[in-house]
Amino acid sequence: MRKTFKLVLGLALFLFFVGEAAAYTPFKPSISSGVTFIAIAVAIMAILVTFFFTHGGIKYVTPENVLDKEIRRTIYSYLNEYPGSHLREIARDLDLKPSNAEWHLRKLEQSNLVRSRKIGGKKVYYLVEGGVESRKRAIAESILRNKNARMIMQYLHDSPGKHLLEIARALNLNHHTVKWHIKKLQMAELVEGDR
């Protein structure tokens, strides 16, 4: 770090003295001065890029280092405990801005640790680690977060074989609402039935 600091300081002093010298001599633009200016600008950019790469300003996220950040480990643990969570839930429960949570979730997805699936208009996240069972659990938990879906599921558990209109009357729900939730429950393989 000291070497880079000395290099940047030296370059700044050099540019300062070049600027001072230019102030006392008449400036006549020529091709060589334009090339010199471009060369100096490129050198400054190279030094700055090197500085940020070597001192942690710019880092690439790889599968090997994706869980080095505490926030990503926290999100990963959260999804292990609550598979099927959507972005707003994750952001709210972990006290993150949605854009920040989304960025870290994207990095976890790119590293093949987390997957997402759109369910009911929301993108839900789950761990890759559990395979098909993890995906099914995430989908089921996401669907059953809805009160109406839980009521329908419980009713069908207690009274199997009921028709759509019977379910709607018993739960005091619109039959279109019941049909929509049953379709989602069937998609998640939580209930079976004739279509």
pLDDT of amino acid 176: 93
Over residues 40-48, mean pLDDT: 80
Mean residue pLDDT of the chain comes to 79
Over residues 1-21, mean pLDDT: 60
Pick the CATH number of 66-130 from 1.10.260.40, 1.10.10.10, 1.20.1050.10, 1.20.1250.20: 1.10.10.10
Pick the CATH number of 146-187 from 2.60.40, 1.10.3470, 1.10.10, 3.40.30: 1.10.10
pLDDT of amino acid 88: 93
Residues 49-99: tens digit of each pLDDT: 777 666 655 567 777 788 888 999 999 999 988 888 899 999 999 999 999
Sheet holding 114-119: strands in order across? 85-86, 122-127, 114-119
pTM over 0.75: no
The angle subtended at Cα 64 by Cα 58 and Cα 68, nearest 5°, is 65
pLDDT of amino acid 48: 75
Provide the 8-state DSSP code for 165. Answer: H
pLDDT, greater one: 192 or 93: 93
Burial class (CB in 10 A: 0-12, 13-18, 19+), 120: middle
Query: Cα(141)–Cα(189) distance, rounded to whole angstroms?
Result: 12
